[in-house]
Structure 1
Amino acid sequence: MCRVWHGVLSLLVAFSARDEISVDGEGESVVVTIGDETLELSRDAAKELKTGVGDALTRRESFFRTACVHREDGSYVVERRNADSTGNSAVFETFDEVRRLFDRLPETFDADDLSKAGLTGSRRHMLVRHFAEHPGFACELESRSPIRARKLS
């Protein structure tokens, strides 16, 4: 089945990880095929879709003292909330890299445990806080001074 989209794009595409995806940009339109579904988009609609997908891949989450950014390139940045210098952030290639770091930490951990992973300075303390604040990590602060967190079962 082929659908032609013109003008303003309001497209929601759902597909399985098993679906093959192909894009053909030759000619005056862009043809996107996902599994057995084919859509022909005007170039303007394709640009709008590209922008929408990029915006969906890039998102910022703010917590009490930390924030994180999922970048379009797949990298994951942990930063102090409202900080304006790179000295207050740690960049990871992917969120999975941060997940693996958390999984390797002992049940109770502190900033020194993160220095063994190559983090330096205040980034170590910031990451302990981030693990405790982010709902994706089963963890809570055990003490603030010195900063120490405990994984939850």
Structure 2
Amino acid sequence: MTRLVEKFSDSPSPSAHRRGDRVAVSVGGDELLLSREDADQLRECLEDALTARETFLNTEGVHRADGSYVVERRGADSAGNRKVFDSFGALRRLFDRLPAEFTAEDLSATGLTAGRRHMVLWHFVEHPGFACELASRQPLTARKAPANAEVDQ
């Protein structure tokens, strides 16, 4: 399942406040009155969406509640098989700095070591939010899609 999340500078600021025995949720001028139970269920759904785990063939991506983003080798059970980024945006900036065609070795220059380089490269290839494809397995190489290609994030 691909989650689509878009953020715009002119996005309306959501707000919520109590109104008697109800909770008023306002977004972009629209207001929704919810029971306390419905508001609690909405909060749980939002929490699940914001802290979701996405599983791919070789890797997994985890959006943590603290805003960090973790790239893991699928089925990993040790810290050596994961890399924690401050945010998904930090991973995006890393990808943007890479050349049009890059190898796992190119990721060494960013401070990634050992198998984490390969894991992050595979994550770029597998995650629909990054416009790139596997160019070669030996050496492990990815190629970015042309700049005008559309990507789900």
TM-score (norm 2): 0.75
Note the aligned Cα RMSD (angstroms). 2.3
Determine the C-alpha separation between the residues in 2 that align with 1:33 and 1:151.
Answer: 40
Stretches of structure 1 lacking an aligned partner (at least 5 in a row): 1-15
- Decide which structure has the larger Cα Rg and report it: 1
Determine the C-alpha separation between the residues in 1 that align with 2:12 and 2:144.
Answer: 37
Identity of aligned residues (%): 55
1:137 partner letter: F
- Kindly indicate whether residue 95 of structure 2 is the aligned counterpart of residue 80 of structure 1: no
Kindly tell me the number of residue pairs found equivalent between the two proteins: 138
Determine the C-alpha separation between the residues in 1 that align with 2:96 and 2:18.
Answer: 42
- 2:106 aligns to what? 113
Stretches of structure 2 lacking an aligned partner (at least 5 in a row): 1-7, 147-153
TM-score (norm 1): 0.75
Greater RCO, 1 or 2 (C-alpha within 8 Å, sep 6+)? 2
Determine the C-alpha separation between the residues in 2 that align with 1:134 and 1:21.
Answer: 29
- Please list, as runs of the form range in 1=range in 2, the aligned pairs for 1:1-153 lying within 5 A after superposition: 17-25=10-18, 28-153=21-146
**Cα deviation 1:53-109 (Å, max 9, x = unaligned):** 111222222222112122344322211111122221112222222121111111222
Determine the C-alpha separation between the residues in 1 that align with 2:18 and 2:115.
Answer: 47
- 1:13 aligns to what? none
Q: Which runs of 4+ in 1 moved over 6 A?
A: none
